[in-house]
Chains A and B, each alone.
Chain A
Amino acid sequence: MATLPEFAEIVREHQGMVFSLAFHALQDRAAAEDLSQEVFLSLHENLHRLESPGHVKHWLARVASNRAIDEIRKRKFRRGPSLEQVPEPRAKAGERDLLLSRQLRRTVASLPAAARVMIILRFQEDLELAEIARVLEIPVQTVKSRLHRSVNLLREKMLRRQAPASEVKQA
């Protein structure tokens, strides 16, 4: 088992990934923080079972994804705050189209749980299809087809919204 300073190092290194994944999936900062804390507590309990420190990121992505999917599915039955009430997170980047980003995040948040997490793993974490398949424990072909379908669906939804500031307009 890692000492507390060693574990603190792991938290520092991966908290951004875990929190962002949870936030993008749930669109709720408080729930994302709760989920992140639970994921790291679980990691602390299971750290001795991991083969090497290299497996930590993969383990965190897998557990955070599964918990996010569970939470999204639970929330379907008890309505949380609407997306309009959700405050925007502080973003690192300065120059970008906030309106378009907000619309895109909302559209991503309207996807089914598993597809939503898949999109986040692909575009937030830049994971390869094989890595997403390992994290979600499904075949690569399934990831490929679902991802393709989800991106197309997102694109269609964005086009339907026809946001004036959007750059998604078809040429």
Chain B
Amino acid sequence: MNDFNRFEDQLRESLRRVEPPAGLEQRILARVEARTQAHSRFARRRWLALAASVVLVVSAGSFGLHWRQEQVRRQQAEDARRKLVFALQLTSEQVSRVEEQLRAIGVQRIDVTEVSQ
């Protein structure tokens, strides 16, 4: 055996594996378990947050839709009120005009009799 090979053997001998510290395996497994539990807690919280977000979005959407429908209904009611007011004004003006014309030809009163067929 030459010097170089002998030196390599000495290196091999010096760098042989050493015993890991007692309990290393248990400490690693404990950390793995703790991390797994932390991950599952985190995952559960994430699902809860997701579910809460979905509920919030659906509620907001539903409220928005309801609010929009209410707006449309109010708008329609306002339009109908305006039309009715206009119609009543128109009718009132027509009635006043007819009254004036009747008064001009001396009619004071019109008796309306029921016409039977």
Mark A residues whose CB is within 8 Å of B.
4, 7-8, 11-12, 15-17, 19-20, 23-24, 29, 33, 36-37, 40-41, 44, 89-93, 96, 100-102, 104-105, 108, 119-120, 123-124, 126, 151, 154-155, 158, 167-168, 170-171
One of B22-30, B55-63, B65-73, B94-102 contacting the partner: B22-30
Counting residue pairs across A and B whose Cβ atoms lie within 8 Å, the total is 110
The answer on a CB contact under 8 Å between B32 and A41 is yes
Q: Which of B3, B13, B19 contacts A170 (CB 8 A)?
A: B3
Among A7, A44, A119, A171, the residue within 8 A (CB) of B3 is A171
Expressed in whole angstroms, the Cα–Cα distance for A93 and B18 within the complex equals 10
Of B8, B32, B33, chain A has the most CB atoms within 10 Å of the CB of B32
Residues of B in contact (CB 8 Å), total 26
Interfacial chain B residues near A29, Cβ < 8 Å: 21
A64 CB → nearest B CB, Å? 12
Residues 1-51 of B contacting A (Cβ, < 8 Å): 3-4, 6-8, 10-21, 24-25, 27-29, 31-33, 35
**Interchain CB contact (< 8 A) of B29 among A4, A19, A119:** A4
In the complex, which of the residues B7, B15, B16 contacts A108, with contact meaning CB atoms closer than 8 Å?
A: B15
Q: Which of A40, A104, A124, A126 contacts B28 (CB 8 A)?
A: A40
* Interface-central residue, B7, B15, B19, B25, by most chain A CB under 10 Å: B15
